[in-house]
Amino acid sequence: MNVLHDFRSDLAPGVVTSHDHDPDWWRGAVIYQIYPRSYQDTNGDGIGDLRGITQRLPHVASLGVDAIWISPFFKSPMLDFGYDVSDYKAVDPMFGSLQDFDALIAEAHRLGLKVMIDQVISHTSDQHDWFIESRADRTNTKADWYVWADAKADGTPPNNWLSIFGGSAWVWDTARCQYYLHNFLTSQPDLNFHNEEVQEALLDAVKFWLERGVDGFRLDTINFYFHDADLRDNPPLAEESRNNTIAPAVNPYNYQSHLYDKNQPENLDFLRRFRALLDEYPAAAAVGEVGDAQRGAEIVAEYTSGTDKVHMCYSFDFLAPDPLTPAKVRDVVEHFEDVAPDGWSCWAFSNHDVVRHASRWADQIADRNAFLKMTATLILSLRGSVCLYQGEELGLTEGLIAFEDLQDPYGIQFWPVFKGRDGCRTPMVWTSNEQHGGFSQNAKPWLPTAPEHLHLSVAQQDGDSESLLNHYREAIRFRQKHRELVRGDISFVQTTGHVTCFTRSCGNSTLFCAINMSGLVADCDAAGKEFVEVVSPGANGEIADGRLRLEPFGTYFARHAG
């Protein structure tokens, strides 16, 4: 099978491709997330690198996606694997050099792929020069660049804020005899966005990468930038709401309603400054990660409304362990449409922080492959943009990691009830018959290659027309051929029982989409509707006597006649 055929040659008129210089390319785009440590090792140290990403870009291009998002590769002590930045303008040597990044950009653009990079600007590493200077004393030029506060009269922290990684969000510093704020690891102090000099320095770092040719950014923890300047205590969260959080159930973070340590109104003005900078570069775009379970959709609405803030955001609605059902899909999408009529969401089922959905939802499914084909068709049919996580196209499950092999401090802290994020970060499997699945030739990978993944390798699935990998290719191609799926409106028709039915409309054209989300034969009402069938990946349905009958995990896409 020639997977590198020119899939763009037969797109519907008006559908924008990734190499076009259209400022709205991001709207409806499919973005492929690469976790660089685990993609491809080329220098034999067991850690993936930038040259490895460049080497594997033809695979990404064969999927037909519009862009890649690369998780952090900046200089860092790697205590949180790159999400603790010590230099925003340098590549960490373990990943290569700036020249390697430039070569990656050039090859991606040659293949028609846009490049988005992670920007982790809510906090830095405690080894960043800014923090080293800031903690030296209370009078230096960067003394106010981080969130410092005096102890209470009894020596305890300034308030009750908690860290997502467990315990108080405050650490005592002996040099300044003050506490500093950290929403994550103690080695990740929070920047003080109330200081305009901090904003200027961060925007300067963003401009540095724009000048090198990046096409956009994924903004880590976008709603954590500002804190309440008065340091007010968070109120308790009602016990019945504690399961609806972004932290594992064993984490006391779930006991608070996080009104004051994040989601502050001042963030909107900073996002306007950020967008103004992006608008100086044609077609640059940004997607923000909204880490909030109670108000996720509302925050996405605030941050993406109009044209003066970020282009799109994603929340944790489909990254939670809750079962995926027609009712869940409708509730999440319609709630977003209600609160953000002019906003834009970016949907994801998996990423580098959560259990892979091939395990989270499919472990109890008899026909896992059919279920995963259905979920691929589903997410690529919803209104919004889409983020796919490396290995999702292969059906990789959560890797089983022994405690002695754990790297993630989050998992080590809450083991064994919560095993951390290492299971979704195991190395990509390129071959079935090479050591470590072709990820690393001569070195032990930083995380073990999951033996149960080897039979799912790219090489194994590439030539199989019925494989999940080729289903993703077909589903993405199908999406890009139909403008209704890329940028059209959405309206739900039915979500009762096992079938979700909705329409996607663009201009005078409407697609009817029906997806059986169960392993049982199911049907839905099609009375009074005249359709012209449009064959879609995994199509397995027929209309008879006013009912659309769908085989297990079957789909049916049709255009209204006339």
Query: pLDDT per residue over 195-211, tens digit each?
Result: 999 999 999 999 999 99
Catalytic residue among 220, 337, 398, 474: 220
d(CA 208, CA 210): 6
Looking at per-residue pLDDT, the higher value among 539 and 190 belongs to 190
What is the structure's pLDDT at 532? 79
What is the structure's pLDDT at 527? 62
The confidence band for 194, taking pLDDT boundaries of 50, 70 and 90, is very high
- Which superfamily does 16-122+196-227+262-397 belong to? Glycosidases (3.20.20.80)
The confidence band for 290, taking pLDDT boundaries of 50, 70 and 90, is very high
Q: What's the predicted TM-score (pTM) here?
A: 0.94
Indicate if the pLDDT at residue 344 is higher than 70.
yes
Phi and psi (nearest 5°) for 560? Answer: -60, 135
Catalytic residue among 211, 280, 342, 404: 280
Report which of 538, 552, 388, 534 is spatially closest to residue 471, judged by C-alpha positions: 538
Residues 6+ apart with CB under 8 A from 80: 184, 185, 187, 188, 409
- What is the residue-averaged pLDDT of the chain? 92
d(CA 43, CA 285): 32
What is the structure's pLDDT at 222? 97
What is the structure's pLDDT at 293? 77
Q: How far is CA 389 from CA 102, 106, 423, in A?
A: 23, 22, 13
Q: What are the tens digits of pLDDT across the range 453-492?
A: 999 999 999 999 999 999 999 999 999 999 999 999 999 9
DSSP 549: E
Name the pairing type of β-strands 499-506 and 489-494: antiparallel
Q: What are the tens digits of pLDDT across the range 370-425?
A: 999 999 999 999 999 999 999 999 999 999 999 999 999 989 898 988 889 999 99
d(CA 431, CA 500): 36
Q: Quick check: bond before 282 cis, omega within 30? A: no
280 is a catalytic site residue: yes
Q: What is the mean pLDDT of residues 243-258?
A: 85
Indicate if the pLDDT at residue 14 is higher than 70.
no
d(CA 225, CA 223): 6
The ranges assigned to domains in the chain are 16-122+196-227+262-397, 489-560
DSSP tally for the chain: helices H, then strands E: 13, 21
Positive or negative, the CA dihedral 39, 44, 45, 49 is: negative
The confidence band for 241, taking pLDDT boundaries of 50, 70 and 90, is confident
Show the tokens assigned to 418: 């919560």
SS3 sequence, 428-441? Answer: CCCCCCCHHHHCCC
| 489-560 is classed CATH 3.30.565.10 | no
Q: Are 440 and 506 in contact (CB under 8 A)?
A: no
- Cα atoms in the Cβ-side hemisphere of radius 13 Å centred on 468: 21
Name the pairing type of β-strands 509-516 and 499-506: antiparallel
Amino acid occupying residue 140: N
Q: Please give the torsion angle defined by the CA atoms of residues 404, 409, 415 and 417, in that order, rounded to the nearest 10 degrees.
A: -140
